[in-house]
Amino acid sequence: VRIARVDSWRERIALSRPYRIAFQTTDAVELFFVRLADDEGNEGLGSASPSEAVTGESAAACAAALEPGALQWLVGQPGDAARACARSLEHTHAATPAARAAVDVALHDLWARRRGEPLVDALGRVHDALPTSITIGIKGEAETLAEAAEYVGRGFRRLKVKIGGDEDFAARLLRLREAVPADVELRVDANKGLDLPQALQLGRLGERLRLELIEQPLEPARDEELRALPEAVRRRLALDESVLGEQDAARLAAAGLCGAFVVKLMKCGGVGPAMGIAATARAHGLGIMWGCMDESAVSIAAALHAAYAAEATRWLDLDGSLDLARDPAQGGFVVDGGRLRTLPAPGLGARIGDGAGPR
């Protein structure tokens, strides 16, 4: 059995709730889709959402890597070699991790569909249904409280709040902590937008705020400054922008600077490298939070399947498809009282909706 057909296309999709994080505001995203088929009619779907600010991969570079012509080398590859093909991309597409992730995810979907089981079961399931956080951007106090109330009303019990830049985050976070029920966990993400004095201030507030995680306070180049934080705060640190791929994970795990890594398929290049980072984390006693960009349900589902097959998984932050004004893909996972579940369908359990696809 061989891969018989590859197609790919690009879509610009508005966000139903534009948001601000440190250094940028987002109201629409460029998503890329890859669809493979083998000569027995099995399909594999993948999707990319490049983030130039995080990985340096522009939408144009991702588009070039995923041109239909650039993917024709996949035609004729043995269907059973799907995962080996995905690993080979690390050498040929080093600078375009989101494009690589789209192909890697499509190959993993095809691999699991040929086996007739969900991807998580093909990889080896260890988790069943964990809660995801949902994210509140940088905004005023009243808007923050209103958005938090809405999410809590929808069943979410993990709120991630973006901080950083020039705002006074302390007052806003303290009001939020008072306003939400005690069983709601709060995480913050500074997107490298703090300096060390602010990080120390956040650490001191940690007790009152009962923060579950503090994500990427400083610029990656300043990781070593994190040693100035008390040990109890460092254990709650999750590094995101500092951990692009497997080599970063190995280096930072050995450095002992943090308690967790944020894994995103669009940073590391897909399910294969993500599982490698998760194995490194486990070996060093670190946890993994699975995160995302603004993405289609296709790649969110792939992250979820990988998350539930990794023992180091402790937290999910996979809300990236919930605010797309539309998604060409359907299925992939369900949100059930703030918890995410995979579907009992082969592969990712996602499909391209009727009428959607390349034009």
For binding to Mg ion (CB under 5 A), which residues are involved?
189, 215, 240
For residue 328, the minimal CB distance to Mg ion (Å) is 25
Closest distance of CB 51 from Mg ion, Å: 10
Q: Which residue, 189 or 323, has its beta carbon nearer to Mg ion?
A: 189
Distance between CA atoms of residues 240 and 260, nearest Å: 9
Q: How far is the CB of 21 from Mg ion (least distance, A)?
A: 8
Decide: residue 262, CB within 10 A, 0-12 exposed, 13-18 middle, 19+ buried. Answer: buried
Q: What is the 8-class DSSP label of residue 64?
A: H
d(CA 166, CA 1): 57
Beta carbon nearer to Mg ion, 189 or 248: 189
CA separation for the pair 164, 301 (Å, rounded): 29
Which residue number, 104 or 215, has a Cβ lying nearer to Mg ion? 215
User: Could you tell me which of 172, 154, 174, 155 has the C-alpha nearest to residue 163?
Assistant: 172
Q: Which is nearer to Mg ion, 17 or 326 (CB)?
A: 17
CB of 162 to Mg ion, least distance (A): 8
Q: Cα–Cα distances in Å, from 33 out to 43, 86, 98, 280, 358? A: 13, 16, 11, 30, 9
Structure tokens, 135: 């994210």
Nearer to Mg ion, 215 or 323 (CB): 215
Q: Which residue is nearest to Mg ion (CB)?
A: 240
| Rounded least distance, CB 238 to Mg ion, Å | 8
Judged by beta carbon, residue 93 or residue 267, the one nearer Mg ion is 267
**174, 204 Cβ separation under 8 angstroms:** no
Query: E strand or H helix at 145, and its extent?
Result: helix 141-153
Contact (Cβ atoms closer than 8 angstroms) between residue 261 and residue 289: yes
Spatial contact of 261 and 317, defined as CB atoms under 8 Å apart: no
CB of 191 to Mg ion, least distance (A): 6
